Amino acid sequence: MILSDYLNNALKEKWALPHFNISDAVTLAGICEAAKELKSPLMIGTSEGERKFIGLRRAVAMINVYREEYKLPIFLNADHHRSVSAAEEAVNAGYDSVHIDLSAAKLEENIKSTKEVVEYARSKFPISNFQFPISVEGEVGYLVTESSKIYKETIQIPPESLTKPEEAARFVQETGVDRFAPAVGNLHGISANVKQLDFERIKAIRKAIGGEVALVLHGGSAIPDDQIKEAIKCGINNIHINTELRVAYTEALRKFLAEHPDETTPYKFFAPVIEAVKQKAAEKITLFGSKSKI
């Protein structure tokens, strides 16, 4: 099965494919341990900052190792890449998927450049080493926060940042994207106020784009469980988590080093970090309903 098969099944069966971002091999180890144990398919993402730290080809190599060793369907995504050239670099490095995020641009420019990435990705299949079509995600509407932050203040979402269903329909039709990311009350990072998704907007966007395109929820960290479940019922079939994994990682590391201030052995102080990431990933896999979907 390829990525589109899992996404199609998720929509039909009312679950969501988890997408976890990584910054290093430690995070990836915890995520893959959880997926192996729970028999869940996965998307693993690297933002432009994360890919710069890890390295494009090293990220591809790490994913290939886990695919082979754990027999897991893992799909590597270039997350929030903000230029055509950056997206094309990820395609050329062997990524399975790219998310071209030009949501800050005018709609016409967003459509034009996203379509360019779609056409470039399509041109790579079935030639070269690509075993299946490269999936492309686009975005209309924008999130006003960053995944690298925990906000102590209340975040206000401007109405103009939210995705209009008619623009979503036009974007999907004119670009040919495989996945679409809307702004529906979601926020990157963790904010002081409880996130409140706009379920009517999600349903309207799902209706506007049809059932062949995946509907992606970014900023999934700290969204209450009941809202996640309702979003899936409304047509979301792919959910991104990053900040909650980072918090689990840093809290476990700080705790261990505080308790063992003289420890200098990485495999000892990263062991509880891997376990903390594993537990958080397992929690999300169970919540999203992707357990036992392999």
Q: Which residue ranges make up the annotated binding site for Zn(2+)?
A: 80, 101, 139, 188, 218
Whether 24 sits among the annotated catalytic residues: the reply is: no
Segments in 55-196 forming alpha helices (H): 56-70, 84-93, 107-123, 165-175
Numbered residues of the known binding site: 80, 101, 139, 188, 218
Given 79, 96, 178, 198, which residue is catalytic? 79
Residues 139, 140, 141: CA angle, nearest 5 degrees: 120
List, in order, residues 6 or more apart from 144 with CB less than 8 Å away: 155, 157, 158, 161, 187
**CA separation, residue 277 to residues 128, 139, 148 (Å):** 35, 28, 16
List, in order, residues 6 or more apart from 159 with CB less than 8 Å away: none
Token pair 């190792």: residue: 65
Q: Enumerate the active-site residues.
A: 79
